[in-house]
Amino acid sequence: MSSLRELVAAELAEPVGPKVAKMAAAIAAVHGEASRAVLFYGSCLREKQLDGLMLDFYLIVSDYRAAYPKRWMATANRLIPPNVFPFHHGELAAKYAVLSEADFHRLNGPETRNVSVWARFAQPSRIVWARNDEARARAVDAVSKAAPTLLGAAGKVVGEDVLDWWRRAFALTYSSELRAERKGRNQSVVDSDPERYRSFGEAASNLVGSNAGQWRRRRIEGKLLSVARLAKASATYAGGADYIAWKINRHAGTNFELKPWQKRHPLLAAITLLPRLLKSGAIR
């Protein structure tokens, strides 16, 4: 059986379309020599037709001060990681999140209770651009921590099938963020590629640590952090209100539309709309 790192390295090295590769290189170019690697992840990874979709990337940088001309942007990224930015290249639209190599490694591991990074990178992703072999290897090392962290946080259940372990783990993570997802998302993620999750789960099971539990605390901290990130995005993410509405409609199957004043004041709109969105189930 292949080691987990071997499985992760092979998956991260799988090819992507030329448009995705060009967009990743363009994202790296924005931050110059600070750029270390660009990873492509999310639901668009499984799509062949990308027009009209919002692609998801993570940009890994050497450090935040080197990545930004403005010190306050580096400080915001360090205090509430990641910073998220909209991006357009050619006919495609994307958003990309920025993390330092140190934070990417830390946030994929059990040393952090917050689920946002390790829950995403326990799922498939691709290294689309890397500065050099060392940067690629460090990204592989970081992503290799994600699956054991996710499964370890859920805890082992005697006799439980590995696919059910994954489903239960994802269900727990979805409850720990403000997310616009249809019910059963944890089931569909695993069922989209059960062979992948079985092989990764079996390889990760021997690496699972003792970080199970703490889910009540994870939920409280995770939802508060989601609000903090939303507040920060009102200053760093141009067109953030339109993106939030698009994201809710796409994942929750709703037809939510923003009013003009909500587009002008995305943070105030988010605060006033949050109770209604939670009550309706559009976000959880």
Cis peptide before 18 (omega within 30 of 0): no
pLDDT digits (tens, 9 = 90+) for 94-139: 999 999 999 999 999 999 888 999 999 999 999 999 999 999 999 9
- Where do the structural domains in the chain lie, given as residue ranges? 4-238
Q: How many CB atoms lie within 10 A of CB 26?
A: 16
Q: What is the CATH number of domain 4-238?
A: 3.30.460.10
Tokens of 63: 């450090």
Least confident of 17-31, 168-182, 258-272: 258-272
**Per-residue confidence band for 211, with pLDDT thresholds at 50, 70 and 90:** confident
2-23 residue pLDDT tens: 799 999 999 999 999 999 999 9
- Which letter does DSSP use for residue 69 in this model? S
Average pLDDT value for residue range 238-262: 63
Q: What predicted TM-score, i.e. pTM, was given to this entire model?
A: 0.83
Q: Is the distance from CB of 148 to CB of 4 less than 8 angstroms?
A: yes
Pairwise CA distance, residues 101 & 139, whole Å: 8
Residue type, 252: A
Contacts 24+ apart (CB under 8 A), 181-184: 181/251, 181/252, 181/284, 182/251, 182/252, 182/253
Tokens of 251: 């994942």
